[in-house]
Structure 1
Amino acid sequence: MFRWKCLSLKLYIIVIICLYIAIWIFSNIVGRVRKPLIDVESPDEVIFRDVAESQPNVPKREALDDYSHHSQLSDCWGERQEENYKFTRILSDFYIFSAFYDNRTKPLIRLISLNRITVHPKLYCVFRYNDNSYESKTDYYEMCENHRRTFGGHILSCTIPRELNHLGIPCTVELTTLEGNRERLNVQFSQNSNRKGKFGICIPPLFNDFQYVKFIEFIELNRILGANTFYIYFTETYEENLVKILKYYKRENIVKLIPWKLPEDISNRVWYHGQSIAIHDCLYRFMFSVEYLIFQDLDEFIIPTQLHKWSHLLEKLDNNHIDGFCFECFYFQQKAAYTTDTLWSLTFKQRTVKGTRQLSKCLVKSDRIFEMGIHHISKFIKNTSLVLNVHKNDGRLFHFRKCKGMFGDICYRNVEDTILEDKYSVKMIENVNLVFEANGFQ
């Protein structure tokens, strides 16, 4: 009898351990939302924070309710203003960069703001039609990557009044304050039927003088992988050859350029040149232009480990509920000095043995996202969406940057990795040479 009880107890313990292991494995493969953990963009500053928990006035990041209102209109009503890309001052310490029509849950206007974090003035969206005006109050949602800076980003939402829903998309919205300030903003919109490609890449503000040769390699390698369009936020005057290349890719309809100039009195008081605000402008501006969006920097590449293109990888990994794919980050060290006889990206052959999920970059179904983090998906538009943490044997984020000790023990062991050279070098060299010839470079 005693032996039977001992055997039963052992079996019970084994079952509990197996269940725990199974739950742990599942949670590391598929998850709904991952929190921002670390900021690689600022190597001297590491911040661990969950905004929803640390700030009780900010709504938690559970998924929104699911509605279905899909406008088939291809035009807007009302008079449209001349287009510009600037931060429009609404009040002291409060700016709006862009306004978007969003009917994924119900007909709404989304506004992307840059403002002092503690300033939440009462704002109203006013819609004017046939000499009548209709008013709707805005709700605030703080972006998750403001990192306790004085200024940061919000997503403001105001409902389009029911009386106007039959008209479809307004061309403009007037933003008013209790103090009587009024600013009219163009409303950006696009439809699923207008999609021009499968993959687009959002590149946050370029604030350093990036070499034009490296930029060409970035564009051409990502085009081989499947990218159709690159959305680039540029901040300043660049060297002559880089400007020439940007104009070339713009003429070829490969690059779309979005001017990005922060208000001078704020530029040093917002996180990393307003990176999170630019990410959300890109998300909402182009979510219906391509099926998938990727958010990454110029020294990062999402590389399928076994297959050749992103589309092949998604055919293997995708299902109806996975709306985001996040790739573990591996750092690459330069093995050989860069010369004009080879490609810059092919000089990086020493990869860290270990990667880190904390510094992932993600590929998302663009119309399924409400809020993006820098290294994670913060909030979906539907509560049925899932994130897949892609296994390193299927795909990895290649980060061509020196690995520093602050990233933990991942920096101390390296292994040779020639995937890039073996799979893509021939086509890359061919494409880069064609761009050089088209622009008169030697």
Structure 2
Amino acid sequence: MSKITIRKLFILLFAIVFISIISLYASLQNVYDINYPKLERIPKFEAGRRIFPKTRNFFENNVNFYKIDQKAYAVSAFTDDRNGNMGYRYVRVLVVIKQKIDFECVINGSKSRNVSLYELSENHHMDMQVFILNCPMPDFIQFDDIEYVELRREGSSKPFTNVPVKYRIENEKNMKSEPRIHMSICVPVLFPGAYDAKRIVEFIELNSLQGIDRIFMYYNPKTLDGKMNKTLQYYTDNHILHLINFQLPFSENDVWYHGQLITITDCLLRNSGLSKYTFFNDIDEFFVPMSNMSMMETLNLLFVNTSSGSQRVAANLINLENTNPPITLHNSQGSSNLETRYTKCVVRPEMVFEQGIHHTSRVIQDDYTTDAHNGSLLQVFHFKKRNTCCEKRLELINGYSNALKNQFEYVVKILDL
């Protein structure tokens, strides 16, 4: 056999082996992609899908608890440059305490005078209650110079607890720049076992179709199954979902409603200066415009009065007869009377000092308003099993049926849910 023939056979054999290896690799990648979808290999636009622009992550992904003593924890410290009805030039600290006793604050080596506690309004006499600790700043210290505050009980001999400054709240009347995003959602608690992964897909996809830029969701990763973890990771990689690890250092039975006052306040602070409008709602609740306007157009009309810091939006109770997702397309039996007590809020976060579960408790200026909206422009559709009568609500079905159905099926398929 000539040398040329041997060389050709060698080249042919090498080519066959190389092609086989490539084919095997591609086959394995297809298998792995089903279980662990990589965002860069998924088409960026399909059925109205948006890959959201990544913004710099200014905040860590945890709610930290700094133990002061057996009866007190500090959570989030923040500098507050707003000159309003809560005083001026403060470092404030979100604290959870069992006993209301005075605290000492030390800022950059100087002890604060006239330290005070502000009690949040929805503690409901639980053992562990949520307060904001107000530490006046010495005149010679600037906001940007403060990295942490030192705390302990007044008169205690124990060492001080260092609490890092997590947020820096700007003067809302003199913001240095426009908010980086238009609309965000705070989901205070992802209740364990209450929703499956498909409900998360529906919630995020429908809200993204309505123009929501970012969703902040507080969760305990120890309570999630594989499909839920996979789904949450997919949307985190997609830049629309920001997950915040929230694990109480004490029993959730000791604090009101799973500690939602903690997560709501933390999320309010996260969004101040970041988002123009921030919603507070759960996975089974959707804000729905009542006209042909977009969500952003609706909000701009609701907040046309620049003194409005919050809109408390009435709820329409939608009977959850069909529990198969997407539930928003399978259920439309609403109530003829709107729920005006258990409402949900959309706020201008920099204008609010205290936000509750169902209402805004305090704005930062006396001339700011917290308005109750009657549902003519915007309603909260709350999907829950109940006997409601007797009005069909077709706004979501008429507005988003095809787009939501296509996108929902697409994500469920690629995530193998």
Amino acid at match of 2:212: A
Report the equivalent of 1:46.
none
- Structure 2 distance, partners of 1:413, 1:344, is 18
Which of 95, 105, 112 is the equivalent residue of 2:94?
112
1:272 aligned onto 2:257:
yes
Maintained 8 Å contact 2:333/2:389: no
Maintained 8 Å contact 1:83/1:186: no
- Structure 1 distance, partners of 2:335, 2:374, is 16
Q: In percent, how many aligned pairs have the same letter? A: 28
How far apart are 1:169 and its partner, in Å? 4.5
Report the equivalent of 2:40.
none
Maintained 8 Å contact 2:313/2:379: yes
- Structure 1 distance, partners of 2:180, 2:203, is 21
Report the equivalent of 1:152.
129
- Could you state the TM-score of these two structures normalised by the residue count of structure 1? 0.73
Compared with structure 1, are the counterparts of its residues 329 and 316 closer, same or farther at alpha carbon in structure 2 (3 Å cutoff)? same
Amino acid at match of 1:197: I
Amino acid at match of 1:220: E
Report the equivalent of 2:107.
127
How far apart are 1:417 and its partner, in Å? 1.6
Where in structure 2 are the equivalents of 1:39-438 lying within 5 Å? 85-105=63-83, 106-116=88-98, 119-128=99-108, 133-137=109-113, 138-165=115-142, 168-177=144-153, 178-181=155-158, 182-190=160-168, 192=175, 193=177, 195-209=179-193, 210-235=195-220, 236-264=222-250, 266-317=251-302, 318-336=304-322, 338=324, 343-403=326-386, 413-437=389-413
Maintained 8 Å contact 1:99/1:187: yes
Partner of 2:259: helix, strand, or coil? Answer: helix
Maintained 8 Å contact 1:308/1:423: no
How far apart are 1:195 and its partner, in Å? 3.4
Partner of 2:186: helix, strand, or coil? Answer: strand
- Structure 1 distance, partners of 2:416, 2:180, is 30
- Structure 1 unaligned segments of length 5 or more: list them: 1-75, 77-81, 404-410
- Could you state the TM-score of these two structures normalised by the residue count of structure 2? 0.77
Count of residue correspondences? 343
- Structure 2 unaligned segments of length 5 or more: list them: 1-57
Which protein has the larger Cα radius of gyration, Structure 1 or Structure 2? 2
Aligned-residue CA RMSD (Å): 2.2
How far apart are 1:412 and its partner, in Å? 5.4
Amino acid at match of 1:103: D
How far apart are 1:390 and its partner, in Å? 2.1
How far apart are 1:196 and its partner, in Å? 2.6
Amino acid at match of 1:320: T
Compared with structure 1, are the counterparts of its residues 274 and 337 closer, same or farther at alpha carbon in structure 2 (3 Å cutoff)? closer
How far apart are 1:383 and its partner, in Å? 0.8
Report the equivalent of 1:12.
none
CA deviations 1:302-360 (Å, max 9, x no partner) are 1001134221112323221222112111111134452xxx6232112110111121011
- Structure 1 distance, partners of 2:147, 2:217, is 25
Partner of 1:316: helix, strand, or coil? Answer: helix
Compared with structure 1, are the counterparts of its residues 281 and 172 closer, same or farther at alpha carbon in structure 2 (3 Å cutoff)? same
Maintained 8 Å contact 1:171/1:186: yes
Partner of 1:162: helix, strand, or coil? Answer: coil
- Structure 2 distance, partners of 1:146, 1:222, is 30
Partner of 2:332: helix, strand, or coil? Answer: strand
Maintained 8 Å contact 2:62/2:246: no
- Structure 2 distance, partners of 1:146, 1:358, is 18
Maintained 8 Å contact 1:98/1:112: yes
Compared with structure 1, are the counterparts of its residues 284 and 169 closer, same or farther at alpha carbon in structure 2 (3 Å cutoff)? farther
Partner of 2:398: helix, strand, or coil? Answer: helix
How far apart are 1:440 and its partner, in Å? 3.4
Maintained 8 Å contact 1:224/1:309: no
Maintained 8 Å contact 1:331/1:402: no
How far apart are 1:84 and its partner, in Å? 5.6
Maintained 8 Å contact 1:307/1:313: no
Partner of 2:397: helix, strand, or coil? Answer: helix
- Structure 2 distance, partners of 1:387, 1:314, is 14
Maintained 8 Å contact 2:318/2:388: no
Compared with structure 1, are the counterparts of its residues 315 and 149 closer, same or farther at alpha carbon in structure 2 (3 Å cutoff)? same
1:440 aligned onto 2:411:
no
CA deviations 1:154-173 (Å, max 9, x no partner) are 111112211112x6351222
Amino acid at match of 2:79: Y
